[in-house]
Homo-oligomer: A and B are copies of this chain.
Amino acid sequence: MATLKVPAQLPSPVEDSEQLRKAFQGWGTNEGLIISILGHRNAAQRKLIREAYSATHGEDLFKDLDKELSSDFERAVLVWTLDPAERDAFLANEATKMLTSNNWVILEIASTRSSLDLLKAKQAYQARFKKSLEEDVAYHTKGDIRKLLVPLVSIFRYEGDEVNMTLAKSEAKLLHEKIAEKAYNDEELIRILSTRSKAQLTATLNQYNNEFGNAINKDLKTDPKDEYLQLLRAAIKCLTYPEKYFAKVLRMAINKLGTDEGALTRVVTTRAEVDLQRIAEEYQRRNSIPLDRAIANDTSGDYQSILLALVGHED
């Protein structure tokens, strides 16, 4: 469930865009107005506002997007306001660049979006960057991490609910054999994770747990500092229990000495219209503090305000 709150009575996109024009003139001068508008409009509405702005003023609402984003607040507003497919393309591209390289972001986008949303992100990526997400991921990774990430980002996964239990049993056994041999980069293991439907994979991993007595991620925790194994476990969590995965990303971002604003902004902006309510439940269960209070404790100013608006926190 989403956390975004959209008022029942809305101004027209033209009115919104004119208000934003005023708020932007002398950027940063009216953050409250920006939050009160953009923090309460869904993707379709934000798109209409950008179109209205562009039609009236002949320029993109966010002409500065390609420039370096200076403050956490500005980045949050900009990332949030992008269309979801454009936003994923933007975040994924950043994650393939040398200085901002981040395999976690690629993994997360590849493994938690629906097949159609991932496809739209790839199309947005191609339209914007004139190359494919797959080629950039493949080019900027190597070794085992490439072997894992490229198939995950490439697949157009089947999304039906059908489960083949015979297959689940045989593939659970196969996974267990490979893990017992410490063949964590085995191609059969990667094949199963990267190509099976989420329903089928869940059945396989339940079977694994039933048959061999441990959740697979426990068996994959032999070396907690190995990045490949970390990514492998994260992929499994993203594919089978995304809310729990995101709750953990939030926990790490907030608990870090010096908040990880990049991760915090990413999870809040990308999930506010999808499942942030469920993520907040997971967060509270594990951390014994509501997500909005944790965010309020850890952030300040306009950045805090935009995040709280997106997590649905009532003032």
**Contacts of A85-130 to chain B: CB distance below 8 A:** 119, 122-123, 126, 130
**Chain A 119-154 interface mask (CB, 8 Å, partner B; 1/0):** 100110010001110110011000000110011001
Q: Copies per complex?
A: 2
Return chain B residues, CB-CB under 8 Å to A156.
Answer: 119, 122-123, 132, 134, 154, 156
A187 and B146 form a contact (CB under 8 A): yes
Contact of A191 among B122, B139, B158, B194 (CB under 8 A): B139
Q: Who on chain B is nearest to A191 by CB?
A: B138
4 closest Cβ pairs, A-B complex: A154-B154, A135-B195, A132-B158, A138-B191
Q: Give chain A's interface residue range (CB within 8 Å of chain B).
A: 20 to 34
Closest CB in chain B relative to A187 CB, distance in Å: 7
B195 and A130 form a contact (CB under 8 A): no
- Beyond A119-B119, A126-B159, A150-B191: 17 further Cβ-contacts under 8 Å? A119-B156, A122-B156, A126-B158, A130-B162, A132-B155, A134-B155, A134-B156, A135-B158, A135-B195, A138-B194, A138-B195, A139-B195, A146-B187, A146-B191, A151-B154, A154-B156, A156-B156
How far does the alpha carbon of A281 sit from the alpha carbon of B197 in the complex, in Å?
43
Closest CB in chain B relative to A88 CB, distance in Å: 14
Return chain B residues, CB-CB under 8 Å to A138.
Answer: 191, 194-195
A130 and B160 form a contact (CB under 8 A): yes
A130 and B158 form a contact (CB under 8 A): yes
**Chain A 155-183 interface mask (CB, 8 Å, partner B; 1/0):** 11111101000000000000000000000
